[in-house]
Amino acid sequence: GEDVEQSLFLSVREGDSSVINCTYTDSSSTYLYWYKQEPGAGLQLLTYIFSNMDMKQDQRLTVLLNKKDKHLSLRIADTQTGDSAIYFCAETLVNFGNEKLTFGTGTRLTIIP
Amino acid sequence: DAGITQSPRHKVTETGTPVTLRCHQTENHRYMYWYRQDPGHGLRLIHYSYGVKDTDKGEVSDGYSVSRSKTEDFLLTLESATSSQTSVYFCAISEPTSYEQYFGPGTRLTVT
């Protein structure tokens, strides 16, 4: 079965890079996602990567995938106060299509001025 | 929030009462989902729909039912609310050709 794990908290100084980590267990073809949740809001899809890719970059966001270790990371460059949020890693199996997203518990990112 | 609204946004109800939450989308997406969010658990899938009148259970479906009579609306019903169903409920939508799910703003439900 699928299991997605994340650390619960991360504090970073404004202007530094933030690296949020996630591990997953399923070895099948998957899509892996990063969602952002600001206080009182829904989840915003930030980016996603297919399991045959190693890296994806989108402006300040870089996703790195280590397939051997089943480790996914999200790097936010030049972290700003607006990046304060909970970040969720999620996984879906390709053969399930869209029916089943498995989420991690979320990492709360706090920015230190 | 990708043309998704949820109603009500907040609700307080008593144990044993029925509750219906509504998700409405304007995107004409075929798939719709209901999740609950609880501390320490992330989001967990309750039920999902892959078309009008086509629904299936997720991992935490006990105590919940759903209905979808129109493409744009997906209803979640708690037949007899319990305190363990106090949670934040999120609706999501997606298309079969895409692996992207988009979420609504959420409904905070408190069962006293």
- Residue B8: cis peptide before it, omega within 30 degrees of 0: yes
pLDDT for A10 beyond 90? yes
Minimal-distance CA residue of chain B relative to A107: B42
Stronger pLDDT, B41 or A34, i.e. the higher one: A34
Q: B3-50 pLDDT, tens per residue? A: 999 999 999 999 999 999 999 999 999 999 999 999 888 899 999 999
Residues of chain A above pLDDT 90, percent: 67
Q: Would you call A43 and B31 a contact, using CB atoms and an 8 Å cutoff?
A: no
- The helices-and-strands tally (H runs, E runs) of chain B is 0, 11
Averaged pLDDT for residues A92-97: 66
- Whether residues A98 and B98 touch (CB distance < 8 A) is answered with yes
Is the predicted pLDDT of residue A1 greater than 60, yes or no?
no
Mean pLDDT for all residues in chain A: 90
Mean pLDDT value of segment A76-103: 85
Average pLDDT of the segment spanning A93-109: 79
Instruction: Find residues 29-68 of chain B whose CB sits inside 8 Å of chain A.
Output: 31, 33, 40-45, 48, 50, 56, 58
> What does the pLDDT read at residue B96?
78
A79 touches B: beta carbon within 8 Å: no
Size of interface A-B (CB pairs under 8 A): 55
A69-96 core/surface letters (b: 16 or more CB in 10 A; e: else): ebebbbbbeebeeebbbbbbbbbbbeee
CA distances from A14 to A20, A56, A80, A112, B83 (A): 15, 23, 5, 6, 40
pLDDT over threshold 90, residue A21: yes
Interchain contact B99–A (C-beta under 8 A): yes
CB of B43 closer than 8 Å to CB of B37 = yes
Compute the average pLDDT of residues B76-92. 97
Please say if the pLDDT value at position B91 is more than 90: yes
pLDDT in tens, B53-71: 999 999 899 999 999 999 9
Tell me the DSSP string of B31-70. Answer: EEEEEEEETTTEEEEEEEEEETTEEEE-TT-TTEEEEEEE
Pairing of strands B102-103, A43-50: unpaired
A97: confidence class by pLDDT, cuts 50, 70, 90: low
Query: Are the C-beta atoms of A95 and A30 separated by less than 8 Å?
Result: no
User: Reduced to 3 states, what is the DSSP secondary structure of residue A82?
Assistant: helix
